[in-house]
Copies of this chain bind each other. A is one copy, B any other.
Amino acid sequence: MNIRTKTIPIILTLFFYLASPMKLQANADPLPSWKDGPSKQAIVTFVTAVTEKNGTDYVPPAERIAVFDNDGTLWSEKPVYFQLLFAIDRIKTLSPQHPEWKTQQPFKAVLKNDIDALAASGKKGLFELIMASHAGMTTDAFEQIVMEWLATAKHSRFNRPYTDLVFQPMLELLDYLRANGFKTFIVSGGGIEFMRPFTEKVYGVPPEQVIGSSIKTKYELRDGKPVLVRLPEIFFFDDKTEKPVGIQKFIGRRPVAAFGNSDGDLQMLQWTTSGKGKRFGLIVHHTDAEREWAYNRESHVGKLDKALVEAGEKGWTVVDMKKDWKVIYAFQK
């Protein structure tokens, strides 16, 4: 053996190591919190099919768009949407500056922890609550308020920060898709500016890939410095039929994979899976009352009824949280 032949294997090893580090890990399970079974199998089969360069189902990387609902799909949504708990905490914080709230609904109900009176105030009450807590400040100030709340507030059942209540199997799924060239987007009914302060750190999803509901903002110069002021007026409510509308407005192309958990995600799943070529739809079904919550048709948040029926008809994957997931939250490992 001369020098030349001895050098070749070293160079080849180095080449493959540097050029494709992912390949070396190909045998490691990318979805370790998913039990082996039909749900995991369906995900892997889809990803393999659309990334197989010479396969009939190949999708070029630029078109590998995956959209995820947030509440109930990436993190929990019980007892109510976390953003509503944020609004309630915010009303309590602001109440010393608003003595009129002591006698005025829905604020009185919030300050007295009167859930029945709050529920009785209906959509109108909820709207007033959201606007009083989410509008009137600059976008920069609102971001700070959200970040402080996320850093200090704790969920009553688990006594942990809300961002601990994200689903470990879904974090792995996000990573797995991105490792396979997908661009992952959040498409949520939740507030776009409520999510953006944490989505990059928690989900690896940058602000520009977050779509959600929003209120109007107004550009102003304050002492010559530009600010955007949040106004108490709805700009876009990103739920149900508006989810495909939001996807088209923000992304401008139809996703190839959609992940949701409720009837609010039905149209996003329809829109995504009815495109040409191979498509993937998945619904997270909350079936685990012990480790998380169990609910569907009768729930006031995350109601899952029509979308569950249509999942059966259309061959969407339905994840049974209790059976399919080894762990729900990372802290339960």
Q: Show the binding face of A for B, using Cβ within 8 Å.
A: 3, 6-7, 10-11, 14-15, 18-19, 62, 65, 139, 183, 192-193, 196, 200, 206-210, 214, 217-219, 221, 225-226, 228, 235, 241-242, 244-245, 248-253, 267, 270-271, 274
Contacts and interface: CB of A to CB of B under 8 A. Distances in A.
Nearest to A221: B270
Given A11-B11, A14-B15, A18-B19, A252 B210 contact: yes
A206 B249 contact: no
B245 A228 contact: yes
B244 A208 contact: no
A217 B11 contact: no
B18 A248 contact: no
Contacts of A252: 192-193, 196, 207-208, 210
Nearest to A200: B62
A139 B219 contact: no
B196 A219 contact: no
Given A11-B11, A217-B248, A226-B274, 5 more contacts: A192-B249, A196-B252, A210-B252, A219-B267, A228-B244
B3 A207 contact: no
Contact of A7 (B7, B207, B209, B241): B7
A190 to B, nearest CB: 14
Contact of A251 (B11, B208, B251): B208
A207 B251 contact: yes
B219 A245 contact: yes
A168 to B, nearest CB: 24
Contacts of A183: 208
Contacts of A6: 3, 7
A228 B248 contact: yes
A245 B217 contact: yes
B219 A249 contact: no
A6 B11 CA distance: 13
Nearest to A19: B18
A139 B200 CA distance: 30
Contact of A14 (B14, B209, B217, B274): B14
B217 A250 contact: no
Contacts of A217: 245, 248-249
A200 B60 CA distance: 14
Which 8 residue pairs across A and B have the least CB separation, nearest first? Answer: A207-B252, A219-B241, A18-B18, A208-B251, A196-B252, A226-B271, A226-B270, A219-B244
